[in-house]
Amino acid sequence: MSEVLVVVEATREFGVKKVTLEMLTLARELGTPSAVVLGGPGAAEALSAKLGEYGAEKIYAAESEEIDGYLVAPKATVVAELVSRVQPAAVLLASSQEGKEIAARLAVKLDNGILTDVVGLAADGTATQVAFAGSAIVKSKVTRGLPLVTVRPNSVNPTPAAATPSVEQLTVAVTDTDKLARVVERVAEQKGSRPELTEAGVVVSGGRGVGNADNFKLVEELADLLGGAVGASRAAVDSGYYPHQFQVGQTGKTVSPQLYVALGISGAIQHRAGMQTSKTIVAVNKDGEAPIFELADFGVVGDLFKIVPQAADEVRKRK
Amino acid sequence: MNIVVLVKQVPDSGADRNLRTDDNTVDRGSANNVINEMDEYAIEEALKIKEAHGGEVTVLTMGPDRATESIRKALSMGPDKAVHVVDDALHGSCAVATSKVLAAALGQLNADLVLCGSESTDGRVQVMPHMIAERLGMAALTGARKLTVDGSTLTVERQTEEGYEVVTATTPAVVSVWDTINEPRYPSFKGIMAAKKKPVQTLSLGDLGVAPAEVGFEGATSAVLEHTKRPPRSGGAKITDEGDGGVKLVEFLATEKFV
ipTM: 0.95
Mean pLDDT value across residues B207-223: 97
Q: Which of B111, B110, B59 is nearest to B85 (CA)?
A: B59
Close Cβ partners of A88 (under 8 Å, ≥ 6 residues apart) = A2, A3, A4, A5, A31, A34, A146
Where is pLDDT greater, at A11 or A26? A26
pLDDT digits (tens, 9 = 90+) for A169-226: 999 999 999 999 999 999 987 667 899 999 999 999 999 999 999 999 999 999 999 9
Q: Which of A67, A180, A173 is nearest to B140 (CA)?
A: A180
The confidence score (pLDDT) of residue A14 equals: 82
Three-class secondary structure assignment of A239-300: CCCCCHHHEECCCCECCCCCEEEEECCCCCHHHHCCCCCCCEEEEEECCCCCCHHHHCCEEE
Give the mean pLDDT of chain B: 95
Evaluate if pTM is beyond 0.90: yes
Q: Which amino acid is at A283?
A: A
Chain B CB contacts of A97 below 8 Å: 126, 142-143
pLDDT band (50, 70, 90) for residue A296: very high
Q: Is A303 on the interface with B (CB under 8 A)?
A: yes
* Statement: residue A120 has pLDDT above 90: yes
Share of chain B above pLDDT 70, in %: 100
Lowest mean pLDDT among A148-162, A280-294, B10-24, B128-142: B10-24
Share of chain A above pLDDT 90, in %: 91
- Residue B83 forms beta bridges with which residues? B60, B201
pLDDT digits (tens, 9 = 90+) for A234-293: 999 999 999 988 999 988 899 999 999 999 999 998 899 899 999 999 999 999 999 999
Q: What is the CA radius of gyration of chain A?
A: 21
The confidence score (pLDDT) of residue A131 equals: 87
Strand B163-170: give its sheet, edge to edge: A182-188, B163-170, B153-159, B139-150, B173-177, B113-117, B2-6, B56-62, B81-85, B200-203
Helix (H, G, I), strand (E, B) or coil at B36: coil
Instruction: Say if residues B162 and A12 touch (Cβ distance below 8 Å).
Output: yes
Give the whole-angstrom CA distance, residue B40 versus residue B85: 19
* Statement: residue B160 has pLDDT above 90: no
Helix (H, G, I), strand (E, B) or coil at A39: strand
pLDDT digits (tens, 9 = 90+) for B80-111: 999 999 999 999 999 999 999 999 999 999 99
Nearest chain A Cα distance for residue B182, angstroms: 12
Kindly determine whether residue B165 and residue A183, on different chains, have CB atoms separated by under 8 Å.
yes
Give the whole-angstrom CA distance, residue A229 versus residue A200: 6
Q: Are strands A136-142 and A202-206 parallel, antiparallel or unpaired?
A: unpaired
Kindly determine whether residue B131 and residue A105, on different chains, have CB atoms separated by under 8 Å.
yes
* Statement: residue B123 has pLDDT above 70: yes
- Quick one: closest CA in B to A312, which residue? B246
Nearest chain A Cα distance for residue B155, angstroms: 9
Q: Which amino acid is at A145?
A: G
Helix (H) or strand (E) holding A305: helix A304-318
Kindly determine whether residue B221 and residue A112, on different chains, have CB atoms separated by under 8 Å.
yes
- Residue A263 forms beta bridges with which residues? A206, A284
- Please state, in angstroms and as integers, the Cα–Cα distance from residue B5 to each residue in B26, B45, B66, B202, B204, following that order: 23, 9, 19, 16, 19
Give the whole-angstrom CA distance, residue A257 versus residue A267: 17
The confidence score (pLDDT) of residue A191 equals: 65
The confidence score (pLDDT) of residue A190 equals: 67
Where is pLDDT greater, at B48 or B18? B48
**Nearest CB to A311 within list B13, B240, B249:** B249
pLDDT band (50, 70, 90) for residue A1: low
Which region, left, alpha or beta, applies to residue B164 given φ > 0 means left and ψ of -120 to 50 means alpha?
A: beta
Share of chain A above pLDDT 70, in %: 99
Q: Is A144 on the interface with B (CB under 8 A)?
A: yes
Give the mean pLDDT of chain A: 95
CB neighbours (10 Å) of residue B200?
15
Instruction: Say if residues A148 and B221 touch (Cβ distance below 8 Å).
Output: no
- Quick one: closest CA in A to B122, which residue? A132
Which region, left, alpha or beta, applies to residue B201 given φ > 0 means left and ψ of -120 to 50 means alpha?
A: beta
Q: Is B222 on the interface with A (CB under 8 A)?
A: yes
Where is pLDDT greater, at A135 or B145? B145
DSSP 8-class letter at A169: E
Chain B CB contacts of A94 below 8 Å: none
Q: Is A230 exposed, middle or buried (0-12, 13-18, 19+ CB in 10 A)?
A: buried
pLDDT digits (tens, 9 = 90+) for B32-85: 899 999 999 999 999 999 999 999 999 999 999 999 999 999 999 999 999 999
